[in-house]
Structure formats: structure tokens, C-alpha cells
Amino acid sequence: MVFCDIGVAFPRAQIVAPKKVRLAEAEAELAKTMEVLNEKRAELKAAEDKLDSLKNQFQEMIDKKARLEWQVRVVFPFVQLQRERARVQCQSTIRIRVTNQVPEE
């Protein structure tokens, strides 16, 4: 049988008991803080995902702008030229029809 000296054990209990209480309080506070931290991490993740989405949309719009600028610079003048040729050909055809018509008397 082991006997503890009550004169030694009691002061130790008085020293350890408040520390255990403070440890439990600190662990509870840590748990609350970790919960808040995890919520903030989730919010940060959502914000980063939205930012990535906006970056992708922005890049898509830049690409679309480049395609449209190319169309305006290269394709549109060609289309205008084709339309002008068709208009001139149509006017020539109308002129030929008008001049070839026999006047009715």
C-alpha cells in the first residue's frame, strides 16, 4: 500500500485543480475560435471560387473582344466589298433591262 503524505498531496491538488479548470475553459474557447475560423475559411473559399469564376468570365470576354475586333478589321470590309459588288451588279442588270425594253407605242 502506498501512502501519500496528506501534507504534500493537498497543496498539489490546490495548485492543479485551478489549472485544470483554466485548461477546460481554454479548450472550450479554442473550440469556439476554431468554429469561427472554419466558418471564415468556408467564406474565403466561396469568395475565391467566385473570383476564379469572374476571372474566367473576364478572360472569355477578352477573347470574344479580340474575335470581334478581328471580324471588324478583316471580315467586315470583305463583306462590305461583296455587298458593294452585288449592288453594282444588280444596278447594271436593272440598267440593261431598262435599256433593252422596247417602248410601247
Would the pTM count as exceeding 0.85? no
What single-letter DSSP state applies at residue 75?
I
- Reported residue count of the chain is 105
Q: How far is CA 62 from CA 22, 67, 68, 69, 72, in A?
A: 58, 9, 10, 10, 15
- pLDDT tens column, 52-79: 999 999 999 999 999 999 888 887 877 7
- pLDDT tens column, 42-55: 999 999 999 999 99
